[in-house]
Amino acid sequence: MSGSFQIGLCLYGVWGDLGYEEIWGLVAMAHRPIYQDKVEAVFRYQYAGASANELRVGGRAARGVASEESVAVGRGDAAQNAYFGLNFYGCGFGAKANSMLLLGVEWDKITGGGQDFEAFTFWANYRVFF
């Protein structure tokens, strides 16, 4: 990195009409190397809205734990999700990395249905590319 400031930002948006309801959403992602091309900070925010209660929590882990704890995870008309994590690169950097450790925390929230739902999920992942 040699003293330079680098940041990547991606914005995605979508709108759709399923014939009986409208759905829209926005995804913003940012990432920045923070230590000698070996550690990268990553942030993602997602928002989705619908004209009817057809959205559900996107995190499969949050739904699984809620089910085990007998917590109702219904549907709603507004869903938010945020993730912050650190990527540790073993060999190479970014798309050229052969191994990577990902550590992060994810927040999910859904509102507008019969019962609001909010959860935090902690992530640890190791990826190896051949």
pLDDT of residue 86: 95
Q: How far apart are CA 58 and CA 116, in angstroms?
A: 14
Kindly report, residue by residue over 56-93, the tens digit of the pLDDT: 766 666 667 666 666 666 678 888 999 999 999 887 76
Backbone angles phi, psi at 26, to 5 degrees: -145, 135
Residue 62 is encoded by which pair of tokens? 């949050």
Q: What is the pTM of this model?
A: 0.76
Q: Tell me: pLDDT of 3 over 50.
A: no
Q: Please report which residue ranges of 12-125 form alpha helices under DSSP H.
A: 60-68
Kindly report, residue by residue over 65-74, the tens digit of the pLDDT: 666 666 666 6
pLDDT of residue 27: 87
SS3 content of the chain, % helix, strand, coil (to 5): 10, 60, 30
Strands of the sheet containing 99-111, edge to edge, are 8-17, 22-35, 39-50, 78-91, 99-111, 117-128
